[in-house]
Structure 1
Amino acid sequence: MYLIVGLGNPGDEYAHTRHNAGFDVVDAIADEIGVRYWKTECGALTAKGAWHDHDVVLAKPQSYMNTSGGPVKQLMNAYGVDGAHLIVVHDELDIDPGTVRAKFGGGHAGHNGLRSICDKTGTRDWFRLRIGIGRPPGRMAVADYVLSLPKREAKEDFDCAVDKGAQAVLYLIDNGLEKTQQRFN
């Protein structure tokens, strides 16, 4: 079983913002595998499905980005999932818009959602699928940028990265990290 967690903030005011890239990827995966029923458990919206021979639990923590670790830890315990079967999807400022990167382990690089997961789980050893959003233009504050809706060309890049992200997560489950990095990184 794989636990696929998309990071974001709950509420309509944050829907489809750059910071909610993880939620959007999880929704795209749900569409791809035909998941329609969502429920609230362990502080997250969850849905169960299957991809080829693997059971998957899709999750969108509802505790806001900065405290995502609590729901992730609860879900890992509830489903008996270890870091080798946890995939966290999140936005990444240091990657060009429209691109995705897969990796296993590493730090949080100042990303508060990742920091919370590291703190609550006591490990940094889990898969990450990073959705590139790029840096804010000019002197725009990072918080304003990540919480804004991408427009025009940026929206095309964002939508492309969300689609690629969903494909990359499913490919990772089937083919492992090395082949996923070769294909998507």
Structure 2
Amino acid sequence: MTLPIKLLVGLGNPGADYAATRHNAGAWLIENLAAELGCQLKSSKFHGLHCQTSLQGHALHLLVPTTFMNRSGQAIAALAHFYKILPEQILVAHDELDLPAGVVRLKKGGGHGGHNGLRDTISALGNQKDFYRLRLGIGHPGHASQVTGYVLGKPPSAEREAIEAAIQATRQHLPLILEGQFNKAMQSLHAFQG
């Protein structure tokens, strides 16, 4: 049986210096969703900005960790433990170098693929990898030595618009995801090209 998603997390780095950088694409999704639902993200004891809301009858926690990216799991594990949320009831939105800007992919489980936020989340959840991931494409700079500067850089306007379009497409598919219709959501989302 598929368990309902109870926690949506958007990964990023805290502070104004990072707010508009590619690495914060996951946080953009949660911030947009919170604003749309009238759910005010506030500082919490869970090392992040948090609010409780509902979407089409589904009770939800929204979380943007305020730890730096490589400590994201600290916030996720703290909230999940407190509210007794299982890893398979968590959806983590994050930037994805291996996808072009405007492309979005949904998957369950797997490794961290070199993403420090996912690496720490897996570790903090006791090496359980069965949470869902929403991979928001940001493109790749072309060479591994350029990755850090690239993810911490601000995308040009056309690229940002493509990422925002992927976020909107994701928002439209959230009801399916929350209902546990992951395959249907995947097929539709994976056809989207921002």
Which category describes the TM-score, using the shorter chain as reference length? over 0.9
- The size of the alignment, in residue pairs, is 185
Residue of structure 2 in register with 1:87 after alignment = 91
Aligned to 2:151: 146
Q: In the alignment, what sits opposite 1:134?
A: 139
Whole-angstrom distance in 2 between the partners of 1:79 and 1:129:
22
Question: Is 2:41–2:49's contact at 8 Å kept on the other side of the alignment?
Answer: no
What secondary structure does 2:95 align onto? strand
Contact 1:39 1:47 in 2 (8 A): no
Do 1:26 and 1:166's aligned partners in 2 also have CA atoms closer than 8 Å? Answer: no
Q: How far, CA to CA, are the matches of 2:121 and 2:129 in structure 1?
A: 8
Q: Within 2, Cα distance between the matches of 1:169 and 1:65?
A: 24
After superposition, residues 42-61 of structure 1 pair within 5 angstroms as 42-61=46-65
CA contact (8 A) 1:48 1:57 kept: yes
The AA in structure 2 aligned to 1:14 is: Y
Q: Quote the Cα distance in structure 2 between the aligned partners of 1:148 and 1:124.
A: 29
Q: Which runs of 5 or more structure 2 residues have no equivalent in the other structure?
A: none
Call closer, same or farther: CA 1:138–1:113 in 2, change over 3 Å.
closer
After superposition, the C-alpha distances for 1:148-172 in whole angstroms (9 at most, x for unaligned) are: 1111321221221222233344431
CA-based RMSD of the aligned residues comes to 1.7
Q: Structure 1-normalised TM-score?
A: 0.93
Report the secondary structure of 2:134's partner residue: strand
What is the distance in 1 between the residues matched to 2:144 and 2:87? 37
**Residue in 1 that maps onto 2:119:** 115
Instruction: Report deviation, 1:85.
Output: 1.1
The worse-fitting range, judged by mean Cα deviation, of 61-70 and 24-33 is 24-33
In structure 1, what is the Cα distance between the partners aligned to 2:41 and 2:99?
33
1:184 aligns with 2:180: no
For 2:39, which of 25, 35, 41 is the aligned residue? 35
Q: Summarize the alignment of residues 59-98 of structure 1 with structure 2, pairs less than 5 Å apart.
A: 59-98=63-102
Higher mean C-alpha displacement, 155-164 vs 144-153: 155-164
SS at the partner of 2:14? coil
State the Cα distance separating 1:90 from its structure 2 match. 0.1
Deviates more, 1:142-151 or 1:129-138: 129-138
Instruction: Report the AA paired with residue 30 of structure 1.
Output: A
2:169 corresponds to? 164
- Is the deviation greater in 139-148 or in 120-129? 139-148
The 8 Å contact of residues 131 and 165 in structure 1, kept in 2 or not, is answered as no
Q: Identity over the aligned pairs, expressed in percent?
A: 37
Matched, 1:125 2:102: no
Which runs of 5 or more structure 1 residues have no equivalent in the other structure?
none
Displacement after TM superposition at 1:65 (Å): 0.4
